[in-house]
Structures are given as C-alpha cells and as structure tokens.
C-alpha cells in the first residue's frame, strides 16, 4: 500500500467515532500487531484514496485483516448506537469467503441497521472525514428508528 494518508495531527483522531474504531481494531488484534502502532497508523488502512483503490484488484478474496476492519467498523457503530439509545446494540456480520454478505445491528427485536456487503476486500473510505460522516449518518438513522419503534427495541 502507498504511503500513509492519515496525519497524526488530524483533529478527527479525537472524534468519538474514530476513537471507538481504534478501540475496536486494537481489541480484535489477537497477535498484538497494533500494540506499538500509533492511532493514525492503525486507522490508515481504512482510508482508501483513489491511488490505493487502484492498487487493489477488482476481484479478490478478503484476508483476515480486512475482515477484522469490517468487524471493527460495525462494532464501533453498535457501541455508538448503544451509547445514544441506552439499549444494547448487537452487530451480526455474515460473510462468504469471497467477500459478500450482510451486516446487521439489532436492538432487542428491532433491526436498526441492515447493510449488504460486497467486495469487502476493497472496504474503506475516501477520507477520515467521509468515515465520520458515514458513521454519523448511520448512527442517526439507527437512533431515530430505535426511538420510533421503542416497543420493539425493548423486547
């Protein structure tokens, strides 16, 4: 992969969504690879600039590192939703070996997020700003849905 694109001085590194992704990535790192890495270096593979996307083949199977990034992203979304609703949010991710599947976040009996996953070997965001923007949009939608259907969410 080309040179690092996440700057250590980026103010978004203190954003609660970004902080939670770092926590989740470090939690899923069973080999201790991230122990000595700075937060910007841990997050950097999630940012896929146009140049980086060109380096990744259009067809390919995801490795366990990419799958861990996808899980960390949806775990961070679930934690953020849970923090705003006060109800336990549980992420479910089902992937084929080819990188296709589905991600769900469920609160009680309510599905608050349902995303179809395709080509996850190319999972990433154009910039850290886009990552925060997407997470904010998804969390807001899930929190709104939870409040509208609170009876189902508390079952």
Strands (DSSP E) contained in the chain are 89-95, 101-107, 110-117
Superfamily of domain 11-153: Protein of unknown function DUF269 (1.10.3100.20)
Q: Is 103 helix (H, G, I), strand (E, B) or coil?
A: strand
Per-residue pLDDT tens digits for 66-111: 888 999 999 999 999 999 999 999 999 999 988 899 999 999 999 9
Question: Beta strands 89-95 and 110-117: pairing type?
Answer: unpaired
- DSSP assigned state of 7: -
Q: How far apart are the first and last CA of the chain?
A: 46
- For residue 145 the two structure tokens come to 């849905």
Model pTM above 0.85:
yes
CA distance 155 to 151: 7
User: 47-72 b/e with 16+ CB inside 10 Å = b?
Assistant: bbeeebeeeeeeeeebeeebbbbbbb
pLDDT band, residue 2 (cuts 50/70/90): low
Q: Which residues contact 96 (CB under 8 A, 6 or more apart)?
A: none
Q: What is the pLDDT confidence band of residue 7, given thresholds at 50, 70 and 90?
A: confident
Domain residue spans of the chain: 11-153
pLDDT, tens digit, 9 for 90 and up, residues 22-43: 999 999 888 888 888 988 888 8
Cβ–Cβ under 8 Å, residues 127 and 152: no
């Amino acid at each position: 992969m080309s040179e690092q694109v996440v700057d250590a001085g980026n103010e978004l590194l203190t954003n609660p969504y970004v902080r939670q992704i770092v926590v989740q990535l470090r939690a899923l790192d069973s080999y201790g690879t991230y122990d000595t890495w700075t937060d910007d270096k841990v997050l950097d593979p999630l940012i896929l600039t146009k140049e980086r996307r060109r380096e990744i083949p259009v067809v390919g199977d995801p490795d366990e590192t990419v799958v861990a990034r996808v899980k960390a992203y949806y775990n961070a979304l679930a934690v953020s939703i849970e923090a705003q609703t006060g109800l336990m949010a549980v992420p479910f991710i089902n992937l084929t070996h080819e990188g296709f599947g589905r991600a769900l976040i469920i609160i009680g009996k309510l599905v608050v997020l349902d995303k179809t996953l395709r080509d996850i070997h190319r999972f990433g965001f154009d910039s850290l700003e886009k990552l925060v923007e997407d997470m904010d949009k998804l969390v807001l939608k899930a929190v709104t849905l939870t409040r509208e259907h609170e009876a189902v969410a508390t079952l």
